[in-house]
Amino acid sequence: MKRNELIRHLEQHGCQFLREGGKHTVYVNRAANRTSTVPRHREINDFLARKICRDLQIPPP
């Protein structure tokens, strides 16, 4: 899955950009009080994309 597609999915479900890390971007779901990191790669493995969504308590893409 493309990184831009995943970020668009996260933002559509209420997640917000929190900060930039060393090699990751941190997103937060304030409704569920959960955070997760998104690596800065062009392609993100589908398994990892599902895990990020599960961490943020939103439906998978």
**What pLDDT, on the 0 to 100 scale, is given for residue 25?**
97
State the residue for tokens 């930039």.
Answer: 20
Range 53-60 average pLDDT? 96
Q: Supply angle C-alpha 11, 14, 19, rounded to 5.
A: 65
* Residue 47 burial class via C-beta count within 10 angstroms: exposed 0-12, middle 13-18, buried 19 and up: exposed
Reported as a pLDDT band with limits 50, 70 and 90, residue 8 is very high
- pLDDT tens-digit series, residues 16-50: 999 998 999 999 999 999 999 999 999 999 999 99
Reported as a pLDDT band with limits 50, 70 and 90, residue 12 is very high
